[in-house]
Every structure is written in structure tokens, then in C-alpha cells.
């Protein structure tokens, strides 16, 4: 008998557990600096920013360093926020993105990087963003999926993502988010600040990342899901030359949402 798959809802426990190794396992300072470089030209440097799902604060700190701007942060996970507090000081608070502890129409601009695939209630998040943004304010979102390589590793990982998320609740691209934003009166202006990066990874290394919880560490999973991850790992190890690194190219972009002035 299989255990029922729990609905996808992130709780603090999932990210608390992986907080200590989070930055290093997700691209470290290079990813954060790259995201700051993408977001920065789309933000008014004179105005503060709210980072929703700020995590360890690694991206927020990079934004602060870049333009000496003030960044505030909200996150559900006390473990992630403990690290953010070390970087941003008292400007961070535990809170749900779907119930922001922030006054109506008080936020000039907001960002979220890699938030929506983590499973927050996206309807609630966009309702809250529409409430807290000042008229004319912008909400910038960098999705985790971006444009990803469809090579032999990519085919296995994409198939795993589809099996773990058959309803598409963790899809975080424009097709998934723009309609939700529109339903709450936010205008989707399109994508901006594309950034191409290349990296090398072998099938064996990717298989090891899956064992280390690349998905299961951050997603609440039932036994069925664990089986899918095991199968994906086996498929990766069965690829030709599993120790040969593949050069993989991906493109990250920013989705721009705005509240009418």
C-alpha cells in the first residue's frame, strides 16, 4: 500500500532542515550576485525593497551591496531567516507571503526569487502583493525554472519535476503566474534582464544532488514521490558516460508585474 501524497504546501520545517547548506548547494554568491545584477536596473535605487521569501538573505544582501539600498525581508522559515538576520539585521520578519505583515499600499517595490516553486498559495501571494504595493509599484519575480537545458540530464530531471508536480502547482513561469496576477489587478509587463550562464555537471553528480534532497529536501513528499526520485537517479546513472560532465546552458529572466499608478 502506498502512502498518500501530501498536498504541496511548504511549511517552515522543509526549509529549516536544509537552511545550513542552502546557499552553497544553490549556486552561492555567484547566483546571488547574478540575480542582483538582473534585478537592480529594474528597481528604483532610492526606494526600499521588500524581498518576499527572502530565505537566507543571500540575494537581498547582494542587492544591498550593489546599490546601498534598503532591503526588508519576509519568510516562513525561521531557520532560513536566522541566516538572513545575520546578513540584513532586524529588517527581516517571519511571515507568510500569503498574509504579509505589512501595511496596505506601503511598499514601493518588491521582489521574489525562487519562491513560487516552493509551493506557497500563489493566489494568496498575488492578492497580498496587490494589497501592499503602492500605486505604480513593481513586483519582480525570478522563477526557478527559467529556460533550462533539454539535454540528457535535463530530460530526466524535467520528467521528474512533472511527476512530482502533476497539477503544475509548482510551475513558476509567466504562463502560470500572469493569469493569477491579472486576477488581482496586477499588470504583467513581460520578462526582462535575461542572463545566460553555463555550468558543468555530470549525471552522477546530479544523481547525488537528488539523493541529497535537491527536490525532496524542500518539497514535502510522500513515499510515492521518493520512488520517483529514486527512479530518476537510476536513469541518470544509466546514461552513457555518467562521470562525464555535460556543459549545460540556462537562461534566467525577471518577470515584471506592476500595480497601476
Ligand X SMILES: C[S@@+](CC[C@H](N)C(=O)[O-])C[C@H]1O[C@@H](n2cnc3c(N)ncnc32)[C@H](O)[C@@H]1O
Q: Which of 96, 161, 225, 252 binds ligand X (CB under 6 A)?
A: 96
CA 239 to chain centre: 28
Q: Measured from the CB atom, is 51 or 225 closer to ligand X?
A: 51
> Would you count residue 128 as binding ligand X (CB under 6 A)?
no
Q: How many residues bind ligand X (CB under 6 A)?
A: 19
Find residue 195's DSSP bridge partners.
252
> Would you count residue 120 as binding ligand X (CB under 6 A)?
yes
Q: Measured from the CB atom, is 96 or 252 closer to ligand X?
A: 96
> Would you count residue 253 as binding ligand X (CB under 6 A)?
no
Between CA 142 and CA 111 the distance in angstroms is: 8
Q: Measured from the CB atom, is 80 or 207 closer to ligand X?
A: 80
> Would you count residue 172 as binding ligand X (CB under 6 A)?
no
Q: Measured from the CB atom, is 18 or 232 closer to ligand X?
A: 18
Give the footprint of ligand X on residues 66-95 (CB under 6 A).
75-77, 80
State the burial class of residue 102 (Cβ atoms within 10 Å of its Cβ: 0-12, 13-18, 19+): buried
Give the β-pairing of 133-142 and 246-259.
antiparallel
Q: Which of 48, 98, 217, 220 binds ligand X (CB under 6 A)?
A: 98
Annotate each residue in 34-63 with x if it binds ligand X (CB under 6 A) or - if it does not, as one string. -------------------xxx--xx----
Give the footprint of ligand X on residues 1-30 (CB under 6 A).
10, 15
Q: Measured from the CB atom, is 26 or 163 closer to ligand X?
A: 26
Q: Measured from the CB atom, is 120 or 137 closer to ligand X?
A: 120
Least Å from the CB of residue 35 to ligand X: 7
Crossing angle of the two packed helices 152-164 and 223-237, in degrees rounded to 10: 170
Residue ranges binding ligand X (CB under 6 A): 10, 15, 53-55, 58-59, 75-77, 80, 96-98, 113-115, 118, 120
Amino acid at each position: 500500500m502506498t502512502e498518500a501524497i501530501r498536498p504541496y504546501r511548504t511549511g517552515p520545517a522543509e526549509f529549516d532542515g536544509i537552511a545550513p547548506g542552502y546557499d552553497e548547494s544553490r549556486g552561492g554568491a555567484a547566483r546571488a550576485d547574478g540575480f542582483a545584477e538582473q534585478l537592480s536596473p529594474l528597481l528604483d535605487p532610492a526606494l526600499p525593497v521588500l524581498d518576499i521569501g527572502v530565505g537566507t538573505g543571500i540575494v537581498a544582501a547582494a542587492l544591498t551591496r550593489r546599490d546601498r539600498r534598503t532591503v526588508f525581508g519576509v519568510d516562513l522559515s525561521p531557520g532560513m531567516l536566522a541566516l538572513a538576520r545575520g546578513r540584513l539585521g532586524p529588517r527581516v520578519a517571519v511571515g507568510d507571503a500569503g498574509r504579509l505583515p505589512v501595511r496596505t499600499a506601503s511598499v514601493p517595490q518588491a521582489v521574489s526569487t525562487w519562491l513560487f516553486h516552493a509551493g506557497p498559495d500563489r493566489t494568496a501571494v498575488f492578492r497580498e502583493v496587490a494589497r501592499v504595493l503602492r500605486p505604480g509599484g513593481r513586483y519582480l519575480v525570478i522563477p526557478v525554472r527559467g529556460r533550462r537545458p533539454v539535454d540528457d540530464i535535463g530530460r530526466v530531471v524535467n520528467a521528474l519535476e512533472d511527476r512530482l508536480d502533476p497539477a503544475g502547482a509548482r510551475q513558476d513561469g509567466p504562463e502560470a503566474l500572469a493569469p493569477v496576477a491579472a486576477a488581482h489587478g496586477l499588470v504583467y509587463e513581460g520578462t526582462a534582464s535575461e542572463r545566460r550562464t553555463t555550468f558543468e555537471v555530470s549525471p552522477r553528480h546530479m544523481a547525488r544532488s537528488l539523493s541529497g534532497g535537491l527536490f525532496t529536501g524542500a518539497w514535502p513528499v510522500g513515499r510515492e514521490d521518493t520512488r520517483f526520485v529514486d527512479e530518476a537517479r537510476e536513469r541518470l546513472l544509466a546514461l552513457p558516460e555518467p562521470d562525464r560532465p555535460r556543459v549545460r546552458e540556462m537562461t534566467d529572466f525577471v518577470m515584471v508585474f506592476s500595480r497601476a499608478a
